[in-house]
């Protein structure tokens, strides 16, 4: 092997590098959400009444929003499966559906925040509620922007059955965001 070949081989990242990078990022994000959940349960244990009186959470709307996000997980998986088989148009459709569902989730969550009968500054519950759901919303927005960029790249023909690692890695992120929402939903709306 020549020196040039050795250098070229060293500079070419393996397929596992983006996966490892995303997994490392998601582990770090898990610490963030773990700290937020810890704070929620700490406040719950220390408070005589949790949630405070007068706090009404719209569980029907949140349940529908949860279904929207779960359907978006299915459409994201459909995007991954489509490009693995080389179906670029199906990939683009599935990405567009995922983006629309994620946007609908954020719109509903925004409506819920605006029409909430409490604010972050009203009490500890309001503070932790808006912090947890807000951080999750930021992650959903980040996913929408990422998927939008990938949709543009797919439209330019940059993905096929052999070149689609970015779609796979974005799928890891989107599924993580979905899993975090299940934990948020269970914590705030079921366990309370």
Distances (CA, A) of 31 to 36, 42, 74, 91, 95: 9, 16, 26, 32, 28
**Closest by alpha carbon to 159, among 96, 70, 80, 102?**
80
User: Half-sphere exposure (CA, 13 Å, Cβ side) for 62?
Assistant: 17
Eight-class DSSP state of 13: -
Domain range for residue 122?
3-191
Report the CATH number that the domain containing residue 71 is assigned in CATH: 1.20.120.80
CA distance linking residue 9 with residue 5, whole number of Å: 6
Give the span between the Cα atoms of 119 and 183, in whole angstroms: 22
Share of the chain above pLDDT 90, in %: 89
Q: Provide the number of structural domains found in the chain.
A: 1
Of 7-16, 55-64, 88-97, which one has max mean pLDDT? 88-97
pLDDT band per the 50, 70, 90 thresholds, residue 78: very high
When pLDDT is averaged across residues 108-121 and rounded to a whole number, the result is: 96
Instruction: Determine the Cα–Cα distance for residues 37 and 23; give it in Å rounded to an integer.
Output: 20
Quick one: tokens of 13?
């990242």
pLDDT value at 134 more than 80:
yes
């Amino acid at each position: 092997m020549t020196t040039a070949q050795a250098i070229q081989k060293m500079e070419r990242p393996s397929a596992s590098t983006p996966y490892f990078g995303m997994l490392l990022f998601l582990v770090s994000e898990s610490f963030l959400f773990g700290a937020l959940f810890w704070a929620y349960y700490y406040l719950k244990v220390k408070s005589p009444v949790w949630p405070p009186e007068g706090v009404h959470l719209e569980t029907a709307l949140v349940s529908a929003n949860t279904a929207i996000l779960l359907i978006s997980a299915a459409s994201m998986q459909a995007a991954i499966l489509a490009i693995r088989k080389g179906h670029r148009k199906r990939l683009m459709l599935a990405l567009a559906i995922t983006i629309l569902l994620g946007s609908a989730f954020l719109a509903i969550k925004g409506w819920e925040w605006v029409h909430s009968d409490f604010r972050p500054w009203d009490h500890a519950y309001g503070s932790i509620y808006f912090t947890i759901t807000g951080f999750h919303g930021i992650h959903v927005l980040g996913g929408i922007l990422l998927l939008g960029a990938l949709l543009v790249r797919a439209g330019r023909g940059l993905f096929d059955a052999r070149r689609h690692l970015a779609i796979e890695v974005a799928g890891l992120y989107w599924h993580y965001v979905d899993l975090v929402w299940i934990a948020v939903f269970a914590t705030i709306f079921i366990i309370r």
